[in-house]
Structure 1
């Protein structure tokens, strides 16, 4: 049976990085305790934070990430016969943003699929692509995770006195960033590649932990007293995330038949390892599996912020470019999403040769 292999990655971050010092001037400070919880030191936005001008679009970022991934794979856009994209912040409700990326890549004809989700979406998209490739339906796929969150954040503070910004809005502004990252996948008879996947929504009986209001059919157009708003239940996230982490890790390892001890690198874009360990320990969920993988967890949250669908592919792209993942390594990738308490993960053997710019 053919297996899908990740042959390259690519990424794109808009503009110059915004530091916490930059944000303090715009929205006021966060307490040291909250800054420690946020764990973000810099982030990138496609909106100019002082003027509110949009310098590019989400589909622009997605296209640039895909182009870089294709360059590193020594392929052209015309080699691609399947595009799968995940985002919770598309340019428009219709047409699907993936088709805008298709157009910008210069592809007249291509199979396209769009996943409307946040952090878990990029792994869901990766799983969809690999299943099509393994069936032999398509030969070369590009999977993109991308997010443009700054257009929702900037109206919270633009032209306002920083002292008037609510604490919960400051927390959101400090937490989130924009960006895009992409994978190029091909199927072959070579050993390795993607082994297995596991995904679930475990919040069917819980209120959403994150919502983006307005712009959908329920609230189609914001009224004079309404605006598109990002609502995050940080308290619920802190309480329930450890349970999702524990369940998802056990599920992924069991489904794939891989032992925690065999994992060389674990990509979980949820914050530093010490923080994760403390959360799990306090919840009584620090399992032997978590202890086994804890020394191999890799993420780059502090450099890019919370980037939704882009978070996991940005972290894996950074790991490849910095030499933290090497050909033959056994990987476990896991994304947690608080919108309706979802997770998506998989195990794989890394197939790509060293990144040309590493």
Structure 2
């Protein structure tokens, strides 16, 4: 009897499929007009340099306070993904979370989320990375769904709180610093994966390659947690001078990211023996709208075939690929093919994913 059950289980088991989608974008969208009113960043400058129309922040700029933690956002996104599937949360076997901005160095944010969800004795993993971390987390999760494990919760999110000193006089900041406030946003996305035989977006391959040997980083981010109120002003100035919170080489990013995107796309298509016309939807890197649009144009893709969100959400790092995938929910038909790409400029990392929508099969 046991042998028959094992054979039946092996027949119905499939490659991991995405069956649940969730997101959390804190507060109301912060428009370019509001950015000019609150942070003195000119609306026309944002439109010219970045192209984003809005973004979400986990801070309340009017009160100069932090309104949401990463744990808050990730928990809300996870709850939506779980509720959408209708499964009992206790059925989840593993959680993988990726972020560049954890709430603490310890405890890991993934464990705070597991606590909020009431998932005791669950396996948890956390990846520290930029936007490439979202696909790295999916790669880890799909390899963990073996044996008796059937469900994996994968979460990606970032918050800008760590890089913001809300007491600063924003009118005195350099444009190289101001651009980060206009470019980045906060948010979290979550996906629920299963190996059970059911309708879902099947993960067919994931590419993850470090390309930065001997290369200068294209992006560096520093944060130091909460600075004590009684710290001397001289110390604050020295910290800012020595460790700029965010630093990007935009010229290098503009030059290399489109090339790397094309390389990943070519690799993914060759691995699957797909042609570009076989792909129903492309998920291009979501850096900023001008850059994303330039990548789409350089690849010769139509806007109708691409899934984008950065123009409205801002660049919220690890959340972006999941927000793009969530936009596909309800739109896919059997055998629709999807290709997603995320390029991380911090030390030049190429990641990509291929997926195909499949229906659950009836086993006789």
User: TM-score, with normalisation over the residues of structure 2?
Assistant: 0.84
Q: Which residue matches 1:16?
A: 28
* Cα-to-partner distance string for 1:48-79 (whole Å, 9 max, x where unaligned): 11222111210111011000000001123211
Instruction: Assess, with a 3 A threshold, how the Cα gap between structure 1 residues 61 and 87 changes in structure 2: closer, same or farther.
Output: same
Is 1:130 the counterpart of 2:149? The answer is: no
Identify which of 55, 61, 64 aligns with 1:49: 61
* Cα-to-partner distance string for 1:155-206 (whole Å, 9 max, x where unaligned): 2x6452x432211122111001000010000013569711111111112221
Q: Contact 1:6–1:352 (CA<8 Å) still a contact in 2?
A: no
Moved more, 248-257 or 106-115: 248-257
* Cα-to-partner distance string for 1:284-308 (whole Å, 9 max, x where unaligned): xx5xxx3367651111111100011
Q: Which residue matches 2:128?
A: 116
Whole-angstrom distance in 1 between the partners of 2:186 and 2:223: 20
SS state at 1:291 partner: coil
Q: Contact 1:141–1:185 (CA<8 Å) still a contact in 2?
A: yes
Q: Which residue matches 2:5?
A: none
Bigger radius of gyration: 2
SS state at 1:25 partner: helix
Whole-angstrom distance in 2 between the partners of 1:293 and 1:249: 15
Q: Contact 1:266–1:333 (CA<8 Å) still a contact in 2?
A: yes
Q: What are structure 2's unaligned runs of at least 5 residues? A: 1-12, 226-230
Whole-angstrom distance in 2 between the partners of 1:294 and 1:108: 44
SS state at 1:347 partner: strand
SS state at 2:16 partner: strand
Q: Which residue matches 2:277?
A: 261
Is 1:226 the counterpart of 2:239? The answer is: yes
Q: Which residue matches 1:206?
A: 215
Is 1:147 the counterpart of 2:147? The answer is: no
Give the total of aligned pairs.
Answer: 336
Q: Which residue matches 2:9?
A: none
C-alpha RMSD over aligned residues: 2.7
Q: Which residue matches 1:356?
A: none
Is 1:185 the counterpart of 2:193? The answer is: yes
